[in-house]
Amino acid sequence: MPSELCRGLELSIANPDVWGVGSLKVTAGTIRCLVERIHETNVPQLARIGTLDPNTQNIKLDSGCYKDIILVKQDGSNITAADIGVVDVLVDGQYLMQQMRFDQIVTNWNRTCCRNSAPSVTAGGIPPRAELQQSGVPFLPIVWHDNSGKSNISKQPYAESSLVINITSGSLTNARIVFWKAVEKDKESLKTIAATIGAPATATTYEPATASKTPTHAADPGAPMSKKVKLLYGFLPGKWRERATPGNKLAGT
Kindly identify the residues of this chain, within the stretch 138-167, that bind other proteins according to CB under 8 A: 138-139, 141, 144-145, 147, 149-153
Minimum CB distance to other proteins, residue 239 (Å) = 18
Instruction: Count residues binding other proteins (CB under 8 A).
Output: 88
Could you say which residues in the range 167-196 bind other proteins, by CB under 8 A? 176, 178, 180, 183
Query: Please, are residues 237 and 42 in contact by the beta-carbon 8 Å criterion?
Result: yes
82, 99, 53: which is closest to 171 by C-alpha? 82
Residue 200 touches other proteins, criterion: CB under 8 A: no
Q: Which amino acid is at 49?
A: I
* Greatest Cα-to-Cα distance within the chain, rounded to the nearest angstrom: 67
Residue 205 touches other proteins, criterion: CB under 8 A: no
Q: Which residues contact 190 (CB under 8 A, 6 or more apart)?
A: 43, 201, 234, 235
Minimum CB distance to other proteins, residue 93 (Å) = 26
**DSSP alpha helices (H): ranges in 113-247?**
187-197, 227-233
Residue 2 touches other proteins, criterion: CB under 8 A: yes
Could you say which residues in the range 33-92 bind other proteins, by CB under 8 A? 33-41, 44-51, 67-68, 70, 72, 76
Query: Please, are residues 138 and 82 in contact by the beta-carbon 8 Å criterion?
Result: no
Residue 123 touches other proteins, criterion: CB under 8 A: yes
Q: Can you tell me which of 135, 168, 198, 229 binds other proteins, judged by CB under 8 A?
A: 198
In the complex with other proteins, the residue whose CB is nearer, 49 or 218, is 49
Residue 199 touches other proteins, criterion: CB under 8 A: yes
Q: Can you tell me which of 9, 204, 217, 242 binds other proteins, judged by CB under 8 A?
A: 9
CA 142 to chain centre: 10
C-alpha–C-alpha distance, residues 122 and 124, integer Å: 6
Minimum CB distance to other proteins, residue 127 (Å) = 8
Could you say which residues in the range 232-251 bind other proteins, by CB under 8 A? 235, 250-251
Angle at 176 between CA 171 and CA 181, to 5 degrees: 135
* Beta-strand pair 64-73/175-182: antiparallel
Q: Can you tell me which of 55, 98, 99, 116 binds other proteins, judged by CB under 8 A?
A: 116
Cβ atoms within 10 Å of 19's Cβ, excluding its own:
11
